[in-house]
Structure 1
Amino acid sequence: MIKLLLLVAALIAGIIVGPMLAGNQGYVLISAANQTLEMSLTTLLLLVVVLFGLFFLLENLIKWLLSLSSVTRGFFSGRKTRKARQLTSNGLVKVLEGDWKQAEKLVVKSATHSETPLLNYLAAAEAAQEQGQFHQRDEYLRLAAELDSESLAVALTRARLQCRHHQYEEAVATLQDVKGAHPRNPLLLELLKQCYVALEDWPALLGLLPALKKHGSLTEEQTDALTVKAECGLMAQISQHSGSDGLMGHWNSLSRKAKQNPALVTCFVHEMCARNADSEAYTVLREALRKKIDPDLVRLMPTLKLTDNHPAIVTLTDLLRYDSSNATTHSALGQLYLRDGKYKEARTHLEKAIELHPSVSDYSYLVEVLEKLNDKAAANRLSREGLALALPPKI
C-alpha cells in the first residue's frame, strides 16, 4: 500500500513539475566503463517512475503466484488429511471388530498424515499384540513415546498390554515411572493391583490398598477381601522362608484389629499347624475366641494336634456358658471327647449338635461313637439318617 502511494505521488509530481521544466529540462550524463548515456532530467525522472512501477507490478505478480502455490499445497495437504482421518476411523472400527491385521494396516498407513498420530500408534500396538507380534508392538509404542514422551496414555497402554502378555514385572516398572506424576489415576492403581496380585508381591499390595480405597477404586468389602488375601499370602511366604518362629514374630507385629479378624486368625492357624506348631496356634486361637465366638474359629479347635486336649475342651466348655445353643461348639467338643476316648460325653455333645443343626459330618462322628459304645442299632439308624441328609431331595 505504501509503495502504491509513493508511485501515485511520483506520477502526480511528474505531471505538475513536467510542464514547469519543459522549457528548462536540464542535462544528465552517465558514464561507466567507457560508455556514456545522455538524457534530459525530465526523461530520467519519467524513467525512474516507470521502472518503479514495473518493479511494483513484478512484486505483486510474484506474490500472487506464491499464494496460488500455497493454495495448491493446502488443497493436496487437506486431501491427505481427510483421507488419513477416514483411514484412522476405519482402522479403529476394525479394532473394535477384532480384525487386528486390517486394523494395524489402516492405522499405520494413515499415521503420517493423521491429526492424532499418537492414537494411531497406540491402536497399532494393541493390534500387533493381539496378533502375537510383540516386537512390532514395542516399536509402535516407541513411536508413540517419541510423539509425547510424558504421555500417560502411552504408559498405561504399554502397561496394560504388558499385563495382558503376563509381563508383570515390566508392567510394574512402566507404571512406577509415571506413578509419581499421576498418583491418583484409577486405571494406573488398578493395573498395579493386578500386577502385585499376579506377582504375589503382598507387601506392595498392602501398601497400595489405602490409595485404592481412598480414590474410590475399591469398595469397603473389596478392600477387606484383598487385605485378607494379601496378609494370608504374606503369612504363607514368611512361614515358608522363616518357619513358625518368623510367622509368630510377624503375627505379633500386626495391629490389634488384624489379630481380631477371624479370616486372618484362620490363615495363621493353618500355617502354624503346617509347621507342627499347633500349641502356639492354639494360644492365638484361644485368645481370638475369648474376644469373639466365631464359628469358623471354633471349627479349627478339633483340627489342632495337641498333646493334651484338655485345655481346648475347657476353652470350648467356657464358650457354651455364653451360648449353650451353639451347634458348632457342641460339635467341636464332641470331636475332642471322641479323640480322648470319652464316648459318653462325645455322644451327648454330638447329639446336641445334630439337634440344633444337622450335618453329615456330625452324623458320621456320632455313628463312630455309637459303634465304640456297641450300640449297633442306634448306629445303623443314624447311618440311614445321615445318608438321607447327604442325598439330594427327591423331586
Structure 2
Amino acid sequence: MKNIIFFLGSLFIAIAVAFGVHSWFSRYDDPGYVLIGIGHWSLETSLVVLGITLVITFFLFYMFFRLLGWLLRLPGKVKSHGQSVKYNRSQEALISGLVDSAEGNWEKAEKILIKHASHSGAPLIHYLTAARAAQSRGAIEKRDEYLRIAAERSPGADIAVGLTQAEMHLSEQQFDQALDTLKKLHSINPGHASVLKLLHQTYRQLGDWEAIRKIIPSMNKSKVLMETEIKLLEAEVFSGLLRQAAENGDYTKIQEVWQEVPDYIKRIQGIPAIYFAGMIDVGAGAKIEDELARSISEDWDETLLVLFGSVHSNDPQRQLKTAEGWLKAYPDNAVLLRVLGKISKRCKETDKAGQYLEKSIALEPSVSAYQLLADLLTEKGDKNSALECYKCALDLASGEVARQVENITG
C-alpha cells in the first residue's frame, strides 16, 4: 500500500512539474523543439511533450519490473509462508507434547512430537522428549531409534543426546550401558559437570570406588559438589577401598590404601576403625597393634577399644598391660573392663578375667560380656553359673531385638 501511494504521489509531482515547465515555456514564442531521427524515420515534438513522455515511460517500466520481480519472488514467498505455518504448528505441537508427557499421556505425546519434529526450530527437543515418552511406555526400541535420529540430525548435540541416553539407562538400572555412554561423553568433555555427576552415580551403583576416586579432582574443579560434600565423598571412597581390600584378604593393599588416605580423612570418626577392622579380619591384627593403641591413647574411642581386644597379639601379656594402662583414666568404663576380661582370658589369667567381666556387667550389662563370662565359667567347670550367664545373654539379646523391631514398626 505504501509503495502504491509513493508511486502515485511521485507520478503526480512529475506531471505537475512538467505542466509547470510547459506554462513557463509558453510565455516565449518558441517553447522548445526536439527532433529525433533514426534511419528514414524521424520524431518531432516539443520539449515539454518529450519530458512528460519520458516520465510516463519511466514509471511504466518501473511498474513492469516491479511486477516482474514480485512474480519471480512469489514461489519463494509461498514456500516461506508454508514453512512459517508448519513452524508455528511444530511449536504448538512441542508445547502440547510436553504437556502430554508431563501428564503421563506417553503415546499421544510421542506421536505428536515425532509428527512435527522435521518442521520444528528445535527438533532435538522433540526427539529427546519423544524418547523419554517411549521409554516410559516400555518401547525401548523406539526410544533408541529416536535417540539415534536426534544424534544424526543434531551433530553438535552429542553431549545432550548422550546425557539423556545415560539418564534413561540409569533409570532402567542398565549401569553398564550407561557407563559406556558416559565414558564417551567424558572423553569429549572431561570437565562437563552433568557428565561427571552421572559418572559418579554410575560408579557408585557399580561399587567402583577407584574410578570415583579418579574423577574427584574433576568434580571438585567443576563444582559438581560443594567442598564439604567432596570431603564426605572422599571419606566414603576410601572407606569403600579399604573394605574391598579387606574382602580380598590382602593386608598389603589395605596398608597401601591407608597410606594414601589424606590426614583430614583419617581424623574423621569411624574411618580408622574401618582400616583397623580390615587388618584384623585378614589376620594382620598384630601388625597394627601398636598403631591402634596409639590411636586409642590419643583419641579415646570405644569402637577402637573393642577392636584392640580383638587383636590376636604376638605378646598377649604386653597387650594386657597396655589396656590396663587405660584404667587409670577410665576405671569405670564397662567396655574397657570387658576388653580387659577378654584379653585376660586369652592370657589364661582366669581369676582376673572373671573380675573384669563381672565388674563390666555390674556397670553395664552386655551380651558379649555375659558370653565371655559364661565361656570362662564353662572352662572352670561351673556349668550352672555358665548356663545362667548364657540365659542372661539370650534375654538381653532378645530384648535388644524386640526394641529394634518396635522402633522399626513404631
TM-score range, shorter chain: 0.7 to 0.9
1:1-395 alignment, distance < 5 Å: 5=10, 8-9=13-14, 12-13=17-18, 16-17=21-22, 25-31=33-39, 36-42=40-46, 47-61=53-67, 76-130=82-136, 131-133=139-141, 135-143=144-152, 145-146=154-155, 148-149=156-157, 153-154=160-161, 156-164=163-171, 165-166=174-175, 167-175=178-186, 177-180=188-191, 182=192, 185=193, 187-206=194-213, 208-209=215-216, 215=223, 217-218=225-226, 220=228, 223=230, 225-236=232-243, 243-392=250-399
Give distance in 2, aligned partners of 1:163 and 1:210. 23
Give distance in 2, aligned partners of 1:141 and 1:350. 71
Amino acid at match of 1:85: Q
Amino acid at match of 1:266: A
* 8 A contact 1:121–1:144 mirrored in 2: no
Amino acid at match of 1:195: T
* 8 A contact 1:172–1:195 mirrored in 2: no
Residues 240 and 384 from structure 1, CA distance in 2 versus in 1: closer, same or farther, beyond 3 angstroms?
closer
Q: Structure 1 length normalisation: TM-score?
A: 0.78
| SS across alignment from 1:370 | helix
Q: Kindly, what percent of the aligned residue pairs are identical?
A: 24
Give distance in 1, aligned partners of 2:18 and 2:333. 122
* 8 A contact 2:279–2:285 mirrored in 1: yes
> Deviation string for 1:329-368 (max 9, x for gaps)?
2222222223343322222222222222222222222222
1:280: how far off? 0.9
* 8 A contact 1:125–1:138 mirrored in 2: yes
* 8 A contact 1:244–1:275 mirrored in 2: yes
Greater shift, 250-259 or 48-57, is seen at 250-259
* 8 A contact 1:27–1:40 mirrored in 2: yes
Residues 213 and 28 from structure 1, CA distance in 2 versus in 1: closer, same or farther, beyond 3 angstroms?
closer
Residues 260 and 57 from structure 1, CA distance in 2 versus in 1: closer, same or farther, beyond 3 angstroms?
closer
1:70: how far off? 7.6
Residues 136 and 311 from structure 1, CA distance in 2 versus in 1: closer, same or farther, beyond 3 angstroms?
farther
How well do the aligned residues superpose, as a CA RMSD in angstroms? Answer: 3.9
> Deviation string for 1:289-314 (max 9, x for gaps)?
12112121112123333343223222
Greater shift, 93-102 or 358-367, is seen at 93-102
* 8 A contact 2:196–2:224 mirrored in 1: no
1:142: how far off? 0.7
Residues 219 and 56 from structure 1, CA distance in 2 versus in 1: closer, same or farther, beyond 3 angstroms?
closer
Give distance in 1, aligned partners of 2:135 and 2:234. 33
Residues 219 and 363 from structure 1, CA distance in 2 versus in 1: closer, same or farther, beyond 3 angstroms?
farther
Residues 211 and 319 from structure 1, CA distance in 2 versus in 1: closer, same or farther, beyond 3 angstroms?
farther
User: Which consecutive residues of structure 2, in runs of 5 or more, have no partner in the other structure?
Assistant: 1-5
1:286: how far off? 2.0
| SS across alignment from 1:323 | coil
* 8 A contact 1:169–1:195 mirrored in 2: no
Give distance in 2, aligned partners of 1:239 and 1:21. 125
User: Which consecutive residues of structure 1, in runs of 5 or more, have no partner in the other structure?
Assistant: none
Residues 157 and 226 from structure 1, CA distance in 2 versus in 1: closer, same or farther, beyond 3 angstroms?
same
* 8 A contact 1:202–1:234 mirrored in 2: yes
Amino acid at match of 2:145: Q
| SS across alignment from 1:40 | strand
Give distance in 1, aligned partners of 2:224 and 2:148. 35
Residues 365 and 276 from structure 1, CA distance in 2 versus in 1: closer, same or farther, beyond 3 angstroms?
closer
* 8 A contact 1:3–1:56 mirrored in 2: no
Residues 142 and 57 from structure 1, CA distance in 2 versus in 1: closer, same or farther, beyond 3 angstroms?
same
* 8 A contact 2:341–2:355 mirrored in 1: yes
* 8 A contact 1:124–1:140 mirrored in 2: no
Greater shift, 298-307 or 322-331, is seen at 298-307
Residues 217 and 353 from structure 1, CA distance in 2 versus in 1: closer, same or farther, beyond 3 angstroms?
same
> Deviation string for 1:306-325 (max 9, x for gaps)?
34322322222122222122
Give distance in 1, aligned partners of 2:253 and 2:390. 45
* 8 A contact 1:334–1:347 mirrored in 2: yes
